[in-house]
Chains A and B, each alone.
Chain A
Amino acid sequence: MVTAPAALAVTAEVCYAAVLRGDPAESPERNPFVWIFFARSAALTALAVGVTWYVVQRRRRRSAFLTLVNELEMSPGIGSLQALLSRSLGDNSLTVAYWLSRAGRYVDALGHAVNPEVDQDRAMTTIVRSGTQVAVVSHERAILDDQTLRQRIGPAALLAIDNERLGVELTAHLQELRLSRMRIVTAADEARRQIERDLHDGAQQRLLSVLYELRLASSESQEDAHLSGALDALIEGTQKSLVELRELAQGIFPAILDEAGLGAALGTLADQAGCAIEIRSLPHVRLSAPVERTAYLVVSETVGAAHARSGGLTVNMDLCDETLTVCVDGADKAPSEYLADRVGAAGGVLSVNSGAIRAEIPCG
């Protein structure tokens, strides 16, 4: 902005001197002098404009930077640092990625994993504090070089970046915990489901074939009253074992829940419950397995803890804004810690209010 007009001014002056040597009279009627006059005027005007622009720009940046420092001193909220930096440095594409040394990866201010990629037009500035890398700022190479950025960012911004990184590290850590909690619950559910399947396909089938053989033997021994009586007793015993095994399998995991959804599973729960259960509302669509299993557990755990009384329980399940709200009214015991943990693992909240157990489970 300044060099071009300056070069033009110098060239004009040199030409003027050269022409003056050949014609010291400096006659205004002569063409070269007219042209040189115009060139000198234009060059000086451009130079003046360039110098003014440069000064104004510097002031603007300095004041933007002072604002940045002020705002940083007011300790901005998590996630606002990137916006502040990109505004004060005039680079909308600027991003800040924080290095989580324990997890060995970069994350953004919200804790989501990011991969700051090096490319030709962008420069990466590594922010180091006390000898440890804390963040990488990715910005347009044309606007600033690494050195300028480091100078500009200054100690206040470095402190803010470090603070924000700590916040981000905490958020990421919480997120990891949440996910691992969910994974543990899902794995436990899958294991229970597998046990139910194994019982169904293994032990139950085997008992069925024993029952079959016993029935065959019984039909062939009708003449021998003693043997026939003994076989009938065995048949009865085997049938009882089958019933018990079936109930055990169903208690371990209700296959009907995954296969036919909450309505069918709660119906079966109500068929067998020790107290009356009235189901007033249900979601009209199938939800994800973890959500359905958690919602089912809220009811089944409450039913398990309830006494057989005339009042019974009423169940309402309503889906609104990607959240399933499960309300069980008439509970006479506070929900177990396990239930609160289960709902928590699904990212939900469990609350109790005078016999009403309420769980809010996010479905998104």
Chain B
Amino acid sequence: MRITVADDSMLTREGIVHLLSVAGHEVVGQADDADRLLSLVQALRPDAVVIDIRMPPTYTDEGLVAAQRIHAAFPEIGVLVLSQYVEPSYAIRLIEDHPEGVGYLLKERVFDVAILIDALRRVADRETVVDPTIVARLFGRRRVADPLDTLSERGAEVLGLVAEGRSNQAIAARLHITERTVESHVTKTFLQLGLTDDPGSHRRVLAVLAYLRHQGTAPR
């Protein structure tokens, strides 16, 4: 893969670049702010981009905004946003317009080269990636009369992997079950929770995240 990396922290940027090079991927372009990243992406058209969420000038959500702009202009480029915050609302904001080919990972996870390469491959293949810590936090939220309690153990497990953006095929491989079984779990769980989105579409990730985030807390 040809990858562009943007992070204002030189340590993180060079760490990622080193890991990617060792794993045999080509790093085309490094940027320390969003503007430089956008011009690099325009010129180099990489397969995927790694972006830190906090960058100059305001150090808030520049990375998120840049990710959305890249995604809108070059939908074929996979975008992986890195953050030190376990913030479901950022992840939801990132994937809510176009869930295909975007990902939100915690920074500490990408230093595990296997996780980094897997995430980049998935976003480059138009999949969605959501950090498992974020999914775990949403699952762990206390709810009055929690509908998640009505799910079977396997059903909840499958739902969690769906929220992480895993495909049915990947879920089947992970849980050592057939794709058909995964499909039936997903369909059943969606029915049980009253989710109306197509359980086979890319939007299912967003549907599950939004459900977990707002169930029992949505402003009416």
Partner of A278, one of B12, B54, B112, B216: B216
Does B203 count as interface, using CB distance less than 8 angstroms?
no
Does B43 count as interface, using CB distance less than 8 angstroms?
no
From A64-72, A138-146, A307-315, give the one contacting chain B: A307-315
Q: Chain A: which residue is nearest B54 at the CB level?
A: A200
List residues of chain A with CB within 8 A of the CB of B219.
263, 279-282
CA–CA, A310 and B142, complex, Å: 9
Does A275 count as interface, using CB distance less than 8 angstroms?
yes
> B61 touching A271 by the CB < 8 A rule?
no
Interface of B is mostly: loop
> B15 touching A212 by the CB < 8 A rule?
yes
Does B220 count as interface, using CB distance less than 8 angstroms?
yes
Does B111 count as interface, using CB distance less than 8 angstroms?
yes
Does B153 count as interface, using CB distance less than 8 angstroms?
no
Partner of B85, one of A255, A263, A308: A255
List residues of chain B with CB within 8 A of the CB of A216.
18
List residues of chain A with CB within 8 A of the CB of B213.
267, 271
Q: Chain B: which residue is nearest A207 at the CB level?
A: B108
List residues of chain A with CB within 8 A of the CB of B112.
215
Residues A278 and B107 in contact in the complex (CB < 8 Å), given A209-B15, A256-B87, A267-B88: no
Min Cβ gap A298→B in Å is 17
B residues 180-220 with Cβ under 8 Å of A?
Answer: 213-214, 216-220
> A264 touching B89 by the CB < 8 A rule?
yes
CA–CA, A242 and B133, complex, Å: 13
Q: How large is the interface on B (under 10, 10 to 19, 20 to 34, 35 or more residues)?
A: 35 or more
Does B138 count as interface, using CB distance less than 8 angstroms?
yes
Does B148 count as interface, using CB distance less than 8 angstroms?
no
Contact mask for chain A residues 47-87; partner B; CB cutoff 8 A; 1 contact, 0 none: 00000000000000000000000000000000000000000
Does B86 count as interface, using CB distance less than 8 angstroms?
yes
List residues of chain A with CB within 8 A of the CB of B84.
200, 204, 208, 246
List residues of chain B with CB within 8 A of the CB of A281.
219-220
CA–CA, A278 and B12, complex, Å: 38
> A268 touching B220 by the CB < 8 A rule?
no
Residues A275 and B15 in contact in the complex (CB < 8 Å), given A256-B85, A268-B88, A280-B219: no
Q: Chain A: which residue is nearest B214 at the CB level?
A: A267
CA–CA, A211 and B111, complex, Å: 7
List residues of chain A with CB within 8 A of the CB of B140.
271
Does B60 count as interface, using CB distance less than 8 angstroms?
yes
CA–CA, A255 and B59, complex, Å: 11
Min Cβ gap A250→B in Å is 8
> B89 touching A268 by the CB < 8 A rule?
yes
Does B73 count as interface, using CB distance less than 8 angstroms?
no
> A270 touching B89 by the CB < 8 A rule?
no
> A312 touching B144 by the CB < 8 A rule?
yes
Q: Chain B: which residue is nearest A215 at the CB level?
A: B111
Partner of B11, one of A209, A246, A270, A308: A209
> A270 touching B217 by the CB < 8 A rule?
yes
> B11 touching A276 by the CB < 8 A rule?
no
CA–CA, A308 and B93, complex, Å: 30
Q: Chain B: which residue is nearest A200 at the CB level?
A: B84
Excluding A209-B15, A260-B90, 16 further A-B contacts by CB distance (< 8 Å) are A208-B107, A208-B108, A212-B12, A212-B15, A215-B113, A219-B113, A264-B89, A270-B141, A271-B141, A271-B213, A272-B137, A272-B141, A275-B142, A276-B216, A278-B217, A311-B144
A-B contact pairs, 12 of them (CB 8 A): A208-B111, A209-B15, A211-B108, A212-B12, A255-B85, A258-B60, A270-B141, A273-B141, A273-B142, A276-B142, A277-B217, A282-B219
Would you list the 9 A-B pairs with minimal beta carbon distance, nearest first?
Answer: A264-B89, A276-B142, A212-B15, A279-B217, A212-B111, A276-B144, A209-B11, A312-B144, A259-B60
Q: Which residues of B contact A (CB under 8 A)?
A: 9, 11-12, 15, 18, 54, 59-61, 84-90, 93, 107-108, 111-113, 137-138, 140-144, 213-214, 216-220
